Chains A and B, each alone.
Chain A
Amino acid sequence: MSRETLSIVTILTCGLVTYGLRLGGLLLADRLPKRGRVRAFMDALPGTLLLSLIAPSVVANGIWGGVATLFTALCAIKTKSPLLSMLVGMAIIAAQRYVTRSC
């Protein structure tokens, strides 16, 4: 398969999966578990998945990665603004790189 075809297949698959979940949830509303272990798994998934995405990249950025992440999280808790918090984290990393490069 060419690169373009594979890109299209990837996006279409992701689209089908997402649409299937949206419509499936509506159609199967009565049959989804409202409590119990399966439900606990589903409820925990968004948080654990996002954390798994972040963790290795934080570690790869060393101590300053940790500092930037900590301040991003604190800002998000205080301000509830993901955009502002993102900018705080990026500013810390950018400042650290700027200082390291000029030294």
Chain B
Amino acid sequence: MRNRLWAGAVACLPVAASAAAYGAVLGVLAEQKAIAWQTLLMSDFVVFAGSAQFVIVDMWSHPLPVLSIALSVLLINLRYMLVGASLEPLFRGKSLWHKATRMHLAADENWAVTMAAHRRGEADTSYLFGGGVCMFTFWTVSTMIGYRLGGWVPDPEMLALDFAMTAVFTALTTGLWRGKRDLLPWLAAVVLAVVTSRLLPDRWYILIGGVGGALVAALLPQQRLPNEATSQAETVGEAI
């Protein structure tokens, strides 16, 4: 078992190193928003989901909009239900305790690496968990380094740090494009978000644009290919 744990951790090194790069950016942004380092560290430990943690930092303001932050995290992490479901063959026959203790560290990156190894017959739950420990270590350390660096940036505006989040999300979104059928939902999301941002306070535009766009996707005529779920699993894994 220790061997599989180690193999999973080693296999995740390249993706963990690139996640560490955004981790550092997340740390810088959290520092700029005057979020306590303890709060950031706590989110590394208990949330441990990159894009959701970016959203939390982005929405952080006083008084804290607890409910809309939690709702946004729920929606952005809804894909983890699909991640969890796709891991069912790996966990088949394991105890509830085994499942409950291993799942927390299932992030997009080590999940994608594990699924690829699973297809070659090389993965088990230790492999997944080893990858999770690797991701967790790189992620936590990098956010703290970024936080430290954030304090030394003299003029964040001139370095366009306020644009960093928009740019990261833009890059991540391009990887989620699934072809022409995304056109209308994406257009709807953009229009709804921009209009809502003018009309409603706080960050309601994230929820309204996101849910509205996804509803358009649900209302469009359904046409799906039999093996689409797995191919989407791959693209999401690569993107986030």
Does chain A bind chain B?
yes
Q: Does B1 contact A (CB under 8 A)?
A: no
A46-B79, A97-B160 known; A85+B218 contact, CB < 8 A: no
Check if A10 sits within 8 Å of B66, measured CB to CB: yes
A63 interface contact, C-beta 8 A: no
Contact of A55 among B161, B193, B214 (CB under 8 A): B193
Contacts A10-B70, A76-B174 given: A19-B104 contact, CB under 8 Å?
yes
A103 at the interface (CB under 8 A from B): no
Q: Which of B49, B167, B207 contacts A85 (CB 8 A)?
A: B167
Interface of chain A, helix or strand or loop or mixed?
helix
Contacting residue for A48 out of B48, B99, B104, B213, CB 8 A: B213
A80 to B46, CA, bound (A): 29
**The one of A11, A16, A21, A81 that contacts B78, using a Cβ cutoff of 8 Å:** A21
Partner of A47, one of B74, B77, B173, B218: B173
Q: Is the CB of A51 within 8 A of B209?
A: yes
CA A100 to CA B205, docked complex, whole Å: 30
CB B170 to nearest CB in A, in angstroms, measures 4
Contact indicator B219/A37 (Cβ below 8 Å):
yes
- State whether A45 and B78 are in contact (beta carbons under 8 Å apart), knowing that A22-B84, A55-B190, A90-B159 are contacts in the complex: yes
Tell me if B82 is interfacial: C-beta within 8 Å of chain A: yes
Counting CB contacts under 8 A, is B206 at the interface? yes
Given A86-B164, A98-B158: A18 touches B77 (CB 8 Å cut-off): yes
Which of B43, B80, B166 is close to A22, meaning CB atoms less than 8 Å apart?
A: B80
The size class of the interface chain B forms with chain A is 35 or more
A70 to chain B, nearest CB (A): 9
Bound complex: CA A102 to CA B177 (Å): 39
Say how far A92's CB is from chain B's closest CB, in angstroms: 8
Size of the chain A interface, CB-CB below 8 angstroms: 78
Q: Does B56 reach chain A (CB closer than 8 Å)?
A: yes
Q: B91 and A47: CB pair below 8 A?
A: no
User: Is B146 positioned at the interface, with any CB of A under 8 Å from its CB?
Assistant: no
Q: Smallest distance from the beta carbon of A77 to chain B beta carbons, Å?
A: 5
Which of B17-25, B112-120, B133-141 is near enough to bind chain A? B17-25
User: For residue A56, which residues in chain B have a CB less than 8 angstroms away from its CB?
Assistant: 193-194, 197, 205
Tell whether, in the assembled complex, residue A26 and residue B47 are in contact, meaning their CB atoms are under 8 Å apart. no
Task: Tell me whether A85 and B171 are in contact (CB under 8 A).
Answer: yes
Mask, A15-59, CB within 8 Å of B = 1, is 111110111111111101011111011111111111111111111
Q: With A49-B210, A51-B193 as given contacts, are A83 and B22 in contact (CB-CB < 8 Å)?
A: yes
Nearest 7 Cβ contacts at the A-B interface: A25-B84, A52-B209, A48-B213, A15-B46, A89-B167, A49-B210, A44-B217
Q: Give B contacts to A, CB under 8 Å.
A: 18, 21-22, 25, 35-36, 39, 42-43, 45-49, 51-52, 55-56, 58, 62-64, 66, 69-70, 72-88, 91, 99-100, 103-104, 106, 157-161, 163-178, 182, 185-186, 188-190, 192-194, 197, 205-220, 222, 224, 229, 232, 236, 238-240
Q: Name 20 interchain pairs, CB-CB below 8 A, sorted by A.
A: A3-B64, A7-B39, A9-B66, A10-B64, A10-B70, A18-B52, A19-B46, A21-B78, A26-B84, A26-B99, A32-B85, A49-B214, A51-B173, A51-B190, A53-B165, A59-B194, A76-B172, A83-B18, A93-B160, A97-B160
